[in-house]
Amino acid sequence: MMPSMDEPLLANGVGKNRGVRELVLAEVRKQLYLAGPLIAAWLLQNLISMISVMFVGHLGELALSSASIATSFASVTGFSFLAGMASSLDTLCGQAFGAKQYSLLGIFKQRAVLVLTLMSVAVAVIWSYTGRILLFFGQDPEIAAGAESYIQWMIPALFAYGPLQCHVRFLQTQNIVLPVMVSSGVTALNHLLVCWLLVYKIGLGYKGAALANAISYLTNVSILAIYVRLSPHCKNTWRGFTKEAFHDIPNFLRLGVPSALMVCLEWWSFELLVLLSGLLPNPKLETSVLSICLNSCSLAFMIPFGLSAAISTRVSNELGAGRPEDARLATRVVMVLALLVGILVGLVMVLARNLWGYAYSSEEEVVEYIARMMPILAVAFVFDDLQGVLSGVVRGCGWQKIGACVNLGAYYLIGVPAAFCFAFVYHLGGKGLWFGMICALVVQMLLLLSVTLCSNWEKEALKAKDRIFNSSLPIDMAT
């Protein structure tokens, strides 16, 4: 009789395992469907600033240093803040889409574009004083003057970058990602031609590279805006311009400001590396190499950034739809995917260390320095990769206030002080700056992991429901 009793138990066990495996594989497919085009899109978008720096790099070391400092300053004072504010749409639009409150997505997008445009005006004023600000922080006068000229030609890019980020998240949270990838690809190809024309053909030099950024961002957002207005896939979520976008702005800011802080606190700390490198011996070399390292890490980070966007969409959609267990499963799956990506990309960095520097510079001193830095960047990337996807979970759940506190502690209580000590007290130079950031990334990853593992997913689904239905219009509630 024993075999006949064991058979059903065995069958149930196999069936249960098969069911779990099928759920996991289905979740992997959903995430890869979202992440694949988004990774390509973010890589292509990142190429805009990268291509500009490459063009400038072949104009000379001073031009490269000036453009690098200007790009870092622009990221710290403008682009990071706009991207952070726009990331609040990951929560708002994602959960609204999951709850089938479709008209709210268009309202949220318009409200975000309005707020980000107003913020861009204030940032443009700050950018006009770039040279004096850099001199105040002890930067080389020649580099400061060149950086001010570069960034002033990049001011028009501000007013295209904010709407671009809003359109990307509006589409992403609806699982519409292929148009984002296509528009980014068209823009990147166009950017090569625009840079060549402005830098060499018209003869604007590094100023032309800065202006090319604005033209490319405007091209990208124009393509997406046309798609949103004409595509049948957006007919329920985009219902034209409405005065509702001007309402409830304080509630948007309550999520938008912590979202901006969460992104900025992390972004600023990495850009601070370049500014600190200007205080090291041989600042032109250190600044150029640190800028190249940052651009390289930003390029590699587009892979986990795509996964982060995918998990943000998956978690926000599932919580908005009232399916907390599916949100929990999605989180576990993306952590495994992120670990695999971190190991593979880290190996590529190590193997390509002796060749990568030639993409940015033909000077042997720069190339050799970059080769020594690449193994350190590989270690940093593994932890940056893991914290990146966990940050996506944070955005999907609406935990931006917690994320901002975690980033403040990890980077400014641990990372920046450690980087300063390694670089200036122990005289490790640029390597020391990155050692400090590795400390910050480890702390950040562990804290975000703890928050995620200790979360109550059923409670988060109820919070998502309250957030969306408190924002709903009467017509949505009736529907």
Q: 219-228: per-residue pLDDT in tens?
A: 999 999 999 9
Whether residue 21 is contained in a domain is answered as: no
- Residue 19 in any domain: the answer is no
Residues in the chain where the model's pLDDT stays below 50: 1-7, 9-11, 473-479
pLDDT of residue 16: 58
For residue 225, give the nearest of 194, 188, 178, 180 by alpha carbon: 180
Identify the pLDDT of residue 178: 95
Contact predicate 468/95, CB 8 Å: yes
| 5 domain-assigned | no
Residues 77, 125: contact at Cβ < 8 Å? no
Tell me, what's the pLDDT at 10? Answer: 43
pLDDT at 13: 52
Residue 15 lies in a domain: no
The answer to whether residue 150 is domain-embedded is yes
CA distances from 328 to 95, 172, 458 (A): 15, 20, 10
Boundaries of domain holding 429: 33-474
Number of domains in the chain: 1
The predicted pLDDT at position 202 comes to 87
Q: Is 362 domain-assigned?
A: yes
At 119-159, the pLDDT tens digits run 999 999 999 999 889 888 777 888 888 888 899 999 999 99
pLDDT in the model for residue 6? 47
479, part of any domain: no
